[in-house]
Structure 1
Amino acid sequence: MTKTAPLRTARPVAAEPMASLKGLLLEWLPQQRWFAGKDRPVTDLKLLSMTELHPGCLHLLVHAEHTGPPTPGVSRPGDCYQLLLGARRELPPRLAEAFIGRAGSGPLAGLAVYDALREPRSAALLLDRLRHPGTTGPLSFERDTSVCLPAGLAPRLLAAEQSNTSLVYGDQYILKVFRRIQPGINPDWEVPWALARTGCTRVPAPTAWFRTSQPFEATLGVLQPFLPSATDGWTLGLNALAAENDFTRDAYALGRATAEVHQALAAAFPRAPLGPEAAPQKGRLAQEMTERLHATARAVPDLRPYVTGLSAAFASLEADRPAQRVHGDLHLGQVLRAGSDWFVIDFEGEPSRPLAERRLEQPAVRDVAGMLRSFDYAAHAGRPWPPGWADACRAAFCTGYAEAAGQDPRTDPVMLRACETEKAVYEVVYEARHRPDWLRVPLSAIRRLSAGAAGA
């Protein structure tokens, strides 16, 4: 890990450009996949930080303010977003998708404003900053000096929907640029960096990263090795379903890989009981799960008929469980298979939850529950799906996990059911907000979990 040294004196950037940008951004931001406040109108944008990365390219941190109460699990009263914006008189046709708008007033009047992460030149210069550690204004660029980071790698933007923006360089590295910024260390840098120190090979190690010191300390982006021949678990699962192929061997191997990552996490970070300093204490875990359930039911009426049954799943949680750092948002889209090996990526956790909460120790079974829900999602994504496909994959995953970890998550059915229920509740509010046509998938699980918890 390198220490930062000044690259150059940062050119001062006045706040006046917001007079040109605010109107454009108020319209553009809510249309972005990674914008969290789609449920409430944006009333104002406040500039928190602005730095000129290179002539014609501005790095901004802006705070979006909203009206109305936030939707549970989706957004808070306001969010900070990271933007890289370019401005030029004319935009070439190849950058048409990057176009945000033409400024009508202020110092950028008449210029075309665009998302600079979609411009190859700006994307290439961003990698160059990471190759040469140092500071520009409040921005610090750092890297692992034991790794040779080559120059001249051509950038391309990943088109897949996600809550951040990812750039691939020469099919060798992938840079994740975090869009929603919260104070503190982002676990998508912290966890892979710690795991690399333990020798864990299931998680690509960070090669370079950048952060800011204003208006608060925060991680802004992470560069890691890219696996060009790898396929994500979601695609593999859907392909198996479409061909009516067995997926249990893959699920078994994925269970083993998940257990290995959990063991590495336990070695890299101190383990703790479910106490007040680390994770919810005895009785508190059930209380927090129940509170989120009721808040979600107020926002999504479809959930209300099942609240009583689902509450029973949480009420049974009375005993303490050991806790450790976990992935936090594990599902088939967060794992990659290259050859016969599984890799785990994206340790950011559920982006809608506060960063401090995502860094807390949790029961490892929460990751297991997330993957079990993902098998259910895959089975419901295709029509028709083979009966029992998800159940067979879920069983194989748990078997593989148990053999590698020495402990079967199914031996604690109360905790497993509670974590599955909590995950399904989270999915309900997510789908209601982003993909209403998919709401049927978590609601199907809600009906099953509600009946099961009541019967138990």
Structure 2
Amino acid sequence: MSEAASTRTPVALLPSLTPLLHRWLPRQRWFAGKGRPVAGFSLVSAAELLPVDSTSPGLLHLLIRVQHPGPAGGKAAGRESADCYQLLLGVRTTLPPHLAAALIGQMDEGPLAGRTVYEGLHDPRLAGLLLERLRTPGRFGTLRFDQTVPVTGGLPARILDAEQSNSSLVYGDSYILKIFRRVYPGVNPDLELPLALARAGCERVPAPVAWYESATPEPATLGVLQPYLRGSQDGWQLALKALAADDDFTEEAQALGRATAEVHTALAAALPTMTLSRAQTWHLATAMNERLDAAVRAVPDLLPYARGLRDAFDAITGAELNGGGHAQRIHGDLHLGQTLRTPDGLWSVIDFEGEPARPPAERRRMQPPVRDIAGILRSFDYAARSHRPWNPAWAARCRAAYCEGYAEASGTDPRAEPELLRAYETDKAVYEVVYEARHRPDWLPVPMAAIERLAGPGQ
């Protein structure tokens, strides 16, 4: 994204806002630059969604590029990296007590001198304004709003606290608006894929109702409004409840397998597919081995298992894959927490953004559907390990039932490609080991148990 001045907000706003951003941004859960110093900020675009005056709150929409200095040594030495973030800033003369937790700071100078700036999404009045903008398709300053069906207005807004890499607003019991914090050029897969699935008639994914994007300096998806599945529970919580009650979960796992297969089948019908060549399969295995090399350097506990793990990756280069190695658009970050079951028992799949840490081009790449399947299988292992005592038999039954359900709906049993399934599950477990070692050391035994199993002979 190239630099752009604001429409009505003076360019002088950013220098005066910079001291507050330096303190506030690194503390946000969705800020991807944790642990890296901030070299500076630049304004990509700005719009006043609600003009700032002395008698009522204003709402500023900003796209801010955050610069980070490159590492001291290596190929990237001296090179800056940058991420673009979407900010929705409320502006008031005085912040009421119920918004105290949303405070960003007091402006000492610049065009907003003397005003208080805060996280606008926590203000129901300002959050409601976003819904009103989505009801009126067309361009508004640097933003463009669009919809597939008319949107109901006048609904109370509340922010969800559970989000990590994004933010979500719920409007009444009707809609949920996902707001992408880290912004990339182009159409976000979380809009692209659900739109394609809706056109294909797939009811397993909530269809986008409306969305907004940057209109300048170049298009980028900023937020997607979808139906809110009232009363739904995510698959992770359902699995934990079943474990706590010592209940069987195989029927639910089988139904979830069928739902996953329906989504994959619809994506294959709606979007291009391909057959992986042997050269592409070799590159796939090479990338997995390279990630393993980096993981072993980061977590030496992996070293005793490295040879067996490499065998899992190398096995796919000589395997006879069903269909020659089918690849298509997939979810890309599928686990039990990305699934919902409605009160009437219907499973849905949500959050098609892919792994936020991976580059956008990689997230849009066609991949074998078994990658998604491996993600769910790993998730069953995590659920079983989170329960005391550990219940590996519960996980094994769920894993088998899930694959059976997938085979019923797709006609292809993922276990019929054992080399590919093992490779993707191994790759996922290696990623989990690094993540847990860095962020949750107490959870490290969960992926390490899978590493021991997957590195063994005959797996």
- TM-score, normalising length: structure 1: 0.91
The unaligned stretches of length 5 or more in structure 2 are: 1-5, 52-57, 73-79
For 2:384 and 2:183, the matched residues in 1 are separated by: 34
- Residue by residue over 1:354-383, the C-alpha shift from the partner in whole angstroms, topping out at 9 and shown as x without a partner, is 111111111010010000001011111222
Aligned to 1:252: 254
After TM superposition, give the deviation of residue 109 of structure 1 in Å.
3.0
Counterpart contact for 1:26–1:45, Cα < 8 Å: no
For 1:104 and 1:301, the matched residues in 2 are separated by: 50
After superposing on structure 2, the runs of 4+ consecutive aligned residues of structure 1 that deviate more than 4 Å are none
- Residue by residue over 1:169-189, the C-alpha shift from the partner in whole angstroms, topping out at 9 and shown as x without a partner, is 011000000011111111100
Counterpart contact for 2:257–2:403, Cα < 8 Å: yes
Aligned to 1:110: 114
Paired AA for residue 113 in structure 1: V
The unaligned stretches of length 5 or more in structure 1 are: 1-9, 71-75
Paired AA for residue 251 in structure 2: R
Counterpart contact for 1:244–1:386, Cα < 8 Å: no
* Structure 1 position 343 matched with structure 2 position 342: no
Relative to structure 2, which stretch is displaced further, 189-198 or 82-91?
82-91
- Residues 303 and 262 of structure 1: CA distance in aligned 2, closer, same or farther (over 3 Å): same
- TM-score, normalising length: structure 2: 0.90
Structure 2 counterparts to residues 130-209 of structure 1, below 5 A: 130-144=134-148, 147-209=149-211
Q: 1:272 aligns with which of 271, 274, 282?
A: 274
Q: Alignment partner of 1:58: what SS?
A: strand
Aligned to 1:325: 329
* Structure 1 position 30 matched with structure 2 position 30: no
Matched residue count:
435
- Residue by residue over 1:39-80, the C-alpha shift from the partner in whole angstroms, topping out at 9 and shown as x without a partner, is 32222222221111112211111122224559xxxxx93321
Counterpart contact for 1:130–1:209, Cα < 8 Å: yes
After TM superposition, give the deviation of residue 133 of structure 1 in Å.
0.6
For 1:299 and 1:53, the matched residues in 2 are separated by: 45
* Structure 1 position 47 matched with structure 2 position 43: yes
Paired AA for residue 16 in structure 2: S
After TM superposition, give the deviation of residue 11 of structure 1 in Å.
4.3
Aligned to 1:91: 95
Percent of residue pairs bearing the same amino acid type: 61
For 1:291 and 1:397, the matched residues in 2 are separated by: 30
For 2:81 and 2:123, the matched residues in 1 are separated by: 32
Aligned to 1:291: 290
Q: Alignment partner of 1:40: what SS?
A: coil
* Structure 1 position 219 matched with structure 2 position 221: yes
Aligned to 1:233: 235
Q: Alignment partner of 2:332: what SS?
A: coil
Aligned to 2:367: 362
Counterpart contact for 2:7–2:142, Cα < 8 Å: no
For 2:120 and 2:273, the matched residues in 1 are separated by: 42
For 1:257 and 1:391, the matched residues in 2 are separated by: 19
Relative to structure 2, which stretch is displaced further, 36-45 or 157-166?
36-45
Aligned to 2:410: 405
After TM superposition, give the deviation of residue 112 of structure 1 in Å.
1.8
For 1:298 and 1:37, the matched residues in 2 are separated by: 22
- Residues 112 and 298 of structure 1: CA distance in aligned 2, closer, same or farther (over 3 Å): farther
Relative to structure 2, which stretch is displaced further, 217-226 or 206-215?
206-215
Paired AA for residue 175 in structure 1: L
For 2:71 and 2:382, the matched residues in 1 are separated by: 29
Relative to structure 2, which stretch is displaced further, 337-346 or 378-387?
378-387
After TM superposition, give the deviation of residue 404 of structure 1 in Å.
1.2
Aligned to 1:442: 447
Counterpart contact for 2:139–2:215, Cα < 8 Å: no
Q: 2:377 aligns with which of 372, 376, 382?
A: 372
For 2:144 and 2:400, the matched residues in 1 are separated by: 46
Higher RCO (CA < 8 A, seq sep 6+): 1
Paired AA for residue 285 in structure 1: L
Q: Alignment partner of 1:400: what SS?
A: helix
- Residue by residue over 1:113-136, the C-alpha shift from the partner in whole angstroms, topping out at 9 and shown as x without a partner, is 111111111110101010001112
For 1:65 and 1:439, the matched residues in 2 are separated by: 32
For 2:440 and 2:61, the matched residues in 1 are separated by: 31
For 1:293 and 1:447, the matched residues in 2 are separated by: 14
Q: 2:68 aligns with which of 57, 66, 86?
A: 66
For 2:173 and 2:44, the matched residues in 1 are separated by: 34
Counterpart contact for 2:46–2:142, Cα < 8 Å: no
* Structure 1 position 423 matched with structure 2 position 428: yes
Counterpart contact for 1:40–1:68, Cα < 8 Å: no
For 1:281 and 1:227, the matched residues in 2 are separated by: 39
Counterpart contact for 1:241–1:385, Cα < 8 Å: no
Q: RMSD across aligned C-alpha pairs, in angstroms?
A: 2.0
Counterpart contact for 1:69–1:77, Cα < 8 Å: no
For 2:307 and 2:97, the matched residues in 1 are separated by: 56
For 1:350 and 1:139, the matched residues in 2 are separated by: 26
Counterpart contact for 1:253–1:400, Cα < 8 Å: yes
Aligned to 1:128: 132
For 2:15 and 2:204, the matched residues in 1 are separated by: 47
After TM superposition, give the deviation of residue 190 of structure 1 in Å.
0.5
For 1:240 and 1:27, the matched residues in 2 are separated by: 42
For 1:408 and 1:243, the matched residues in 2 are separated by: 30
Q: Alignment partner of 1:388: what SS?
A: helix
- Residue by residue over 1:372-426, the C-alpha shift from the partner in whole angstroms, topping out at 9 and shown as x without a partner, is 0010111112222334111111011011111111111111111001101111222
Q: Alignment partner of 2:263: what SS?
A: helix
- Residues 109 and 304 of structure 1: CA distance in aligned 2, closer, same or farther (over 3 Å): farther
Aligned to 2:306: 307
